[in-house]
């Protein structure tokens, strides 16, 4: 069965159970300060779970583009090295917003896997939440009883809070979950070792494919759990893993989701997949990372030097490093993979084909830039090696750190290049400098925040500061933050004349005033696309109408392309 058919069957199945099929949200998150990228299908439905929004449909299903490369769910280092983690993956999901709960969620998951997709029940195992005394959470007896209708009791395993209590991040909707695992080993292996000892134990052939979450709680910023206004279902199935299970392949990369990309890399580099481990890892890294890079750019996140853009730049550079080092490729390669990628997704995300030239250009330019850096780094290493290597063939850690810090040259690459001449880096010194740098940046950014208090609906904030130094504004949300040991307040408005520059510069300070109070704005910052105003105290009446006054406007920079309006 082809992957496109597998995806379609999922959607058709849930449509037949009364679900509305909805589009994937963009992979880049614009209006949630707790997230950079969509890391789960439920992100776009967070406000429905929390009761802040009324659902248009009580049952929906979709395939969601997800990225797990930062924050709580981060798989980056495993990607390519193993055969079943990805930076970007599609999550097939069905949702109930205060409608059906465990009975139907479990019955339908079983029906789809065993009847529609024809997976053998003999290879399936499920887990249920065993409870957690420290949080006063009970054993999920209901889920266990529901599963007993479908699967032998000895295939229902218990899982702890780490595996069977799903949370979106440090705060937000959460609840106990029940996972479905599939055993893809050969019969001989299955006979030799009981799969139950391998579930949730990082075995590459005994893998989780579907997670059914029963949303009941909201995790607050102080760590406590409060009940949600209603109970919901949030399921997420790893599409690439499902394809592998149905197509009976030994690795996600052997499915028709990734194979066309790997074949293309073989063709472009003249190397074969499946012959040598290092080459294979590099090809998997490329086949995986090009998806993340391309979808992020498509959804509006260009590679850059900070925030979400930096994450994308690092992923792109990781891919370049792999082809440069292990596939002997010294010129751009990733951008040449994009037409094949777009073709594979033409049926479900046709927008990639439409923006092909733009994405290719961005990627190629990035590749060229980093390849130049790599080359410069190589030259620096060459001269440093001949002058400053001591008799024990040890190169100073400070030099390796400089390469890393200033040229983006990762330590493993430096090591690899030096290894040819039997030279080693003074690693303890390198690590000490790295640790010092990390601790400096931790100190600089240490910040903890309370929950947002929503004053009125809406996330968009119009920047009106090019035309005026004064504007009527309304507060849409606020929260307390601890920044560099100071207790401060963050305020978000519907529109603002304050210019979001960090560091309290002209243009981003002033005050807001209502009939009864005046509040000083000491800084304005942009964080994940929210324009945030820093104040020293909460307004007594946040719902009042305020007039904002900017202290003194920054001279308008006519050389840049800022449009007069920043909409989020």
Q: Which residues are near ligand SER by CB under 6 A?
A: 40-42, 93, 166, 211, 213, 234-236
Helices (runs of H) and strands (runs of E) counted in the chain: 16, 24
Quick one: 211 or 525, whose CB is closer to ligand SER? 211
Torsion, Cα of 26, 371, 429, 76 (10° steps): 30
Quick one: 72 or 518, whose CB is closer to ligand SER? 72
CB 215 to ligand SER: min, Å: 9
CB 42 to ligand SER: min, Å: 5
Q: Pairing state of beta strands 124-129 and 88-96?
A: unpaired
Quick one: 34 or 235, whose CB is closer to ligand SER? 235
16 CA to centre of own chain: 31
Quick one: 93 or 169, whose CB is closer to ligand SER? 93
Quick one: 53 or 351, whose CB is closer to ligand SER? 53
What distance in Å separates the CA atoms of residue 526 and residue 530, rounded to the nearest whole number? 6
187 CA to centre of own chain: 36
What distance in Å separates the CA atoms of residue 73 and residue 67, rounded to the nearest whole number? 9
Quick one: 232 or 479, whose CB is closer to ligand SER? 232
Cite the DSSP H helix spans in 408-540: 411-419, 427-445
Tokens of 127: 């887990």
Quick one: 235 or 525, whose CB is closer to ligand SER? 235
Which residue is closest to ligand SER by CB?
236
What distance in Å separates the CA atoms of residue 498 and residue 521, rounded to the nearest whole number? 9
CB 64 to ligand SER: min, Å: 9
Q: Pairing state of beta strands 530-535 and 447-449?
A: unpaired
Strand partners, 70: 73
The sign one gets for the Cα dihedral 334, 336, 341, 344 is negative
Tokens of 46: 């967070």
- Identify whether the C-beta of residue 282 lies closer than 8 Å to the C-beta of residue 322: yes
Burial (0-12, 13-18, 19+ Cβ within 10 Å), 38: buried
Quick one: 129 or 323, whose CB is closer to ligand SER? 129
> What is the CB neighbour count within 10 angstroms for residue 75?
16
Quick one: 49 or 326, whose CB is closer to ligand SER? 49
CB 483 to ligand SER: min, Å: 31
**E strands along 407-563, which residues?**
424-425, 447-449, 453-454, 462-463, 470-473, 475-483, 486-493, 495-496, 510-513, 518-527, 530-535, 546-550
What distance in Å separates the CA atoms of residue 566 and residue 554, rounded to the nearest whole number? 17
Quick one: 14 or 546, whose CB is closer to ligand SER? 14
Tokens of 434: 């790295």
CB 95 to ligand SER: min, Å: 9
CB 36 to ligand SER: min, Å: 16
> What is the CB neighbour count within 10 angstroms for residue 567?
11
Quick one: 211 or 389, whose CB is closer to ligand SER? 211
Tokens of 550: 């900017």
- Identify whether the C-beta of residue 5 lies closer than 8 Å to the C-beta of residue 15: no
CB 307 to ligand SER: min, Å: 23
Q: What Rg, from alpha-carbon coordinates, does the chain have?
A: 26
CB 94 to ligand SER: min, Å: 9
Quick one: 38 or 524, whose CB is closer to ligand SER? 38
- Output phi, psi for 106, to 5 deg: -75, -45
């Amino acid at each position: 069965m082809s992957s496109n058919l597998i995806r379609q069957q999922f959607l058709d199945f849930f449509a037949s159970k009364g679900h509305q099929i909805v589009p994937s949200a963009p992979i880049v998150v614009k209006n949630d300060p707790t997230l950079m990228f969509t890391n789960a299908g439920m992100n776009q439905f967070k406000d429905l779970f929390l009761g802040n929004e009324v659902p248009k449909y009580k049952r929906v299903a979709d395939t969601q583009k997800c990225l797990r490369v930062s924050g709580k769910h981060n798989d980056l280092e495993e990607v390519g090295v193993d055969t079943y983690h990805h930076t970007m993956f599609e999550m097939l999901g069905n949702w109930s917003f205060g409608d059906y709960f465990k009975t139907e969620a479990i019955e339908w998951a079983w029906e789809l896997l065993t009847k529609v997709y024809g997976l053998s029940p003999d290879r399936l195992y499920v887990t249920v939440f065993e409870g957690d005394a420290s949080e006063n959470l009970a054993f999920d007896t209901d889920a266990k009883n529901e599963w007993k209708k479908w699967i032998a009791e000895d295939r229902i395993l218990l899982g702890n809070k780490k595996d069977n209590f799903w949370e979106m991040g440090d705060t937000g909707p959460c609840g106990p979950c029940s996972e479905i695992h599939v055993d893809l080993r050969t019969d001989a292996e299955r006979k030799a070792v009981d799969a139950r000892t391998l579930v949730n134990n990082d075995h590459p052939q005994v893998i989780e494919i579907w997670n059914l979450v029963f949303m009941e709680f909201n995790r607050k910023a102080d760590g406590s759990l409060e009940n949600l206004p209603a109970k919901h279902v949030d399921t997420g199935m790893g599409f690439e893993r499902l394809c592998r299970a149905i197509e009976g392949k030994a690795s996600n990369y052997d499915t028709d989701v990734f194979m066309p990309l790997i074949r293309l890399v073989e063709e472009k580099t003249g190397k074969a997949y499946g012959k040598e481990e290092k080459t294979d890892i590099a090809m998997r890294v490329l086949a995986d990372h090009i998806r993340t890079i391309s979808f992020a750019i498509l959804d509006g996140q260009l590679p850059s030097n900070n925030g979400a853009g930096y994450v994308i730049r690092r992923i792109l550079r990781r891919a370049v490093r792999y082809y440069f080092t292990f596939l002997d490729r010294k010129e751009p390669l990733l951008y040449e993979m994009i037409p094949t990628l777009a073709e594979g997704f033409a049926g479900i995300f046709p927008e990639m084909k439409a923006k092909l030239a733009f994405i290719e250009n961005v990627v190629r330019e990035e590749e060229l830039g980093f390849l130049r850096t790599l080359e410069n780094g190589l030259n620096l290493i060459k001269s440093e090696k001949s002058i400053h290597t001591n008799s024990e063939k040890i190169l100073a850690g400070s030099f390796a750190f400089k390469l890393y810090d200033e040229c983006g040259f990762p330590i493993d690459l430096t090591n690899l290049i030096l290894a040819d001449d039997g030279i080693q880096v003074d690693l303890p010194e390198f690590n000490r400098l790295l640790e010092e740098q990390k601790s400096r940046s931790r100190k600089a950014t240490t910040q903890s925040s309370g929950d947002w208090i929503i004053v009125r609906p809406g996330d968009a904030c119009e920047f009106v500061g090019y035309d005026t130094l004064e504007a009527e504004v309304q507060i849409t949300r606020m929260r307390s933050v601890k920044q560099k040991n100071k207790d401060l307040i963050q305020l978000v408005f519907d529109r603002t004349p304050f210019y979001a520059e960090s560091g309290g510069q002209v243009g981003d300070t002033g005050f807001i005033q209502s009939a009864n109070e005046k509040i000083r704005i000491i800084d304005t910052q942009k964080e994940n696309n929210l324009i945030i105003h820093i104040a020293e105290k909460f307004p007594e009446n946040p719902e009042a109408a305020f007039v904002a006054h900017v202290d003194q406007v920054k001279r308008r920079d006519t050389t840049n392309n800022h449009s007069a309006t920043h909409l989020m």
